[in-house]
Amino acid sequence: MDKVEVKGMRFHAFHGCHPAEQKVGGRFDVDVTLLLDFEGFERSDEIESTLDYVTVMEVVSEEMKAPKKLIETVAAHIGKRLKARFEEVSEVEVTVRKYQPPVKHELEYVSTTIKV
């Protein structure tokens, strides 16, 4: 299997369980890996014959605009939409990182990764 990766998409979004997170928002990063077969793509060398990563970024951006309580839900929605959008994709892996969550411990981020 071959893969396309779109890494480090950064968003200010309003995901979280706490009212302050839903009102003020925070920084989130998203990584996406899509598995597919590249056979035949090299022969045409045209964007229409492959997976357009700009479309991938648009799907992720749309999902990040829809507030959810859990980053697991965000990742699942992104993965399911990408899998539905690109028939040639056999598997999608999505990682969502949430920076500075409102917890008592010092940490860089929390994250979740889901495969669809």
d(CA 68, CA 62): 13
Question: Could you confirm whether 7 is annotated as catalytic?
Answer: no
Residue 104, helix vs strand vs coil: coil
d(CA 102, CA 77): 23
Whether residue 41 is predicted with pLDDT greater than 90 in this model: the reply is no
CB 81 within 8 Å of CB 58: no
Strands (E), 1-116: 2-13, 26-36, 91-99, 109-115
Neighbours of 66 (CB within 10 A): 12
Which fold, 2-115? GTP Cyclohydrolase I, domain 2 (3.30.1130)
Give the pLDDT mean for 41-60. Answer: 81
The pLDDT tens digits for 3-25 are 999 999 999 999 999 888 888 99
The active-site residue, picked from 23, 98, 104, 115, is 98
Q: Where are the domains of the chain?
A: 2-115
The pLDDT tens digits for 63-110 are 999 999 999 999 999 999 999 999 989 999 999 999 988 778 889 999
d(CA 79, CA 3): 15
